Amino acid sequence: MERVNKICEHPVWKRHMDQLEELEQKRIFCKHGVEHLLDVARIAYIENLENQMGIKKELIYAAALLHDIGRGLQYTKGIPHEKAGADLAAEILGDCGFDDEEQQKILDAISCHRDIQSRDHRELAGVLYRADKRSRMCGFCKASAECNWSEEKKNHQLYV
Ligand SMILES: [Fe+2]
Ligand SMILES: [Fe+2]
């Protein structure tokens, strides 16, 4: 997991994560800090193991750690975060030793992590999409009534 740790040490990742923490300090809805990113990575990896999907652990963790990295640019510049995030991830992944094919898979997964069409995919994009949604504990959230997620999207029960 050396390459994954390099992502967390990368100056671009660190800078954007710090800015995001600052921007979300007073946010009452779901935040996008490292806890969320690791929840997504672990849930995605569990699905991968349970269903013997054979996706490399490093690809899952890399996609999860980077999927919301563009969130700050969405708040400050109005750029959809899947797009801003894919651009930032492209800067980071090469420096961390991911080859072209791996980068493409990760960037595709980041780019469509909000696209409902990813929901049923068996590839990295699908695993990331499902883990991202399953990671949110709407049934325990005090801001649930004001959240803009539709009732069908919210997790009212634990996903196990
Ligand atoms: Fe996101
Ligand atoms: Fe997310």
Alpha helices in the chain (DSSP H): 2-9, 11-23, 34-50, 57-66, 71-77, 81-95, 100-111, 124-134
Cα–ligand 2 centroid distance for 33 (angstroms):
9
Q: What is the pTM of this model?
A: 0.94
Q: Which range among 10-24, 76-90, 146-160 shows the weakest confidence by mean pLDDT?
A: 146-160
Comparing CA positions, the residue from 124, 133, 123 lying closest to residue 154 is 133
pLDDT for 100? 97
Residue-range domains of the chain with CATH: 2-146 (1.10.3210.10)
- Identify which of 33, 60, 62 has the alpha carbon closest to the alpha carbon of residue 48: 60
Q: Is the pLDDT of residue 118 over 90?
A: no
Ligand 2 centroid, distance to 99 Cα (angstroms)? 24
- Nearest ligand atom owner, CA of 36: 2
Q: For residue range 19-43, what is the model confidence (pLDDT) as tens digits?
A: 999 999 999 999 999 999 999 999 9
Ligand nearest to the backbone CA of 64: 2
Mean of pLDDT values over 85-110:
97
Compute, in angstroms, the gap from residue 29 CA to the centroid of ligand 1: 13
Measured in Å, residue 100 CA sits from the centre of ligand 2 at 24
pLDDT at 160 over 80: no
Q: Which of 72, 111, 74 is nearest to 89 (CA)?
A: 111
Q: Are 138 and 155 in contact (CB under 8 A)?
A: yes
Quick one: which ligand is closest to 136's CA? 2
